[in-house]
Amino acid sequence: MAAYGLYTHIASNKFRSMLLLAELFVLVYVVVYAGALIIEVLNYGGAPADYYLRVALTDVIRTLPYSTGAAALWIVIAYFFHQSIIDAVTGGQDVTRQEQPRLYNLLENLCISRGIPMPKLKIVDSDALNAYATGLNQRQYAVTVTTGLLNSLNDQEIEAVLGHELTHIRNGDVQMMVIAVIIAGVVGFFAELFFRSFTNFGYYGGGYGRGAWSSSSSDSSSSSSDNRKSSGGGAIIVIIIAVALIALAWLLSQMVRLALSRSREFLADAGSVELTKNPDAMISALRKIENRGELPGATSAVMELCLDNPRQGFSDLFATHPSVDARVQALVRFAGGHDPGPLALPAAPAEGPDDQTPPALPKGPWSDATEPAGASPGAPSASWRTSRWCSPGCSTSTRR
């Protein structure tokens, strides 16, 4: 676990990324097939179920170039513009060395120490304590941190956070997470589109019933009651199948994100410790970030990219990150760190236009409660200067 850049993990991530891209096309075809079933029922509501299934499959084959092109176009758009989309959601902005010399130097030192190419550096103006890495290739990689994290963590802790995000880049986690967000986004969009169209056509309110049963009624003179029941029942079965397929596609798109094993966070923590040689800094950073990383306005997909995702599913079943306690215990066990327990953030200094009075000097052998307020801290008191240069009985006016 303490190793950095585990080659088996990197190779696995690359392979899984290709599988995720292939799964995107499969899920798109499933959604298109479900949509074709619904459209065929709308066009002709009196046919048996096998007719709808057969004709819908023909429709999918006929529209295959269009659905494939749409999925490929989405991948191209996401490839070039995913960073802009994420920045628009979180408010991330590029910063330079001149704008953030402290943060820039910490990241540059880490990259130089291990020969890692320097990613872009971004800042999110938020009180939340969090950070995330993005990018699909070397030219796109970026590390983003919040201003709240910069103001609350010391240099060693920030360095540990940056090492965590660099490990995500090096291990290939970033590419896989971005691809998963792409898949979940496109399938979720089409699934919601079909569900909205489905309800707008009034299936549950009688729209479908009027279309299907009116067709059956018009043919009642030439068909038996059993045929009418069979035809109407077939259409209902097909509608149920279509809804189930759309729901299944949406569920699988969400499961893709859960397929990003939680072990990636443990490995990134370990990689940070290997980079910085300071497990205690990573532990204290996690303790300070704990339950303080919620980015206002960020979607669940964006939160999954972050160092810590405080959003948890029911019974922790759909949590994308292990708990901070579990991550800290792993660092204590395998990296020899020390857990201070939950930490409170340092209080912000009071600010005000008239708050310019220096703090009072502590009483001691070299200070006096009567010392002027303007005296510099640590300067000898007036009484000490008098006793130092005057003998008993002399006054300050007689000393040279």
Global model pTM greater than 0.85? no
pLDDT at 216: 41
pLDDT at 56: 92
pLDDT at 275: 92
pLDDT at 1: 40
Residue of 40, 157, 159, 165 with catalytic role: 165
> For the chain, how big is the Rg over CA atoms in Å?
32
Which residues in the chain show pLDDT less than 70? 1-7, 9-10, 13, 184-186, 188-233, 256-261, 312-319, 346-400
Q: Does 159 qualify as catalytic in the annotation?
A: no
Contact 117, 135 (CB under 8 A): no
pLDDT at 375: 45
pLDDT at 269: 93
What tens digit of pLDDT does each residue of 203-254 get?
A: 444 444 444 434 443 444 444 444 444 455 678 888 899 889 888 888 877 7
What tens digit of pLDDT does each residue of 69-114 get?
A: 988 888 888 888 888 888 988 999 999 999 999 999 999 999 998 8
In terms of Cβ atoms closer than 10 Å to its own Cβ (0-12, 13-18, 19+), residue 349 is exposed
Give residues with Cβ within 8 angstroms of 111, minimum separation 6. 117, 118, 119, 166
Beta bridge mates, 120: 142
pLDDT at 286: 96
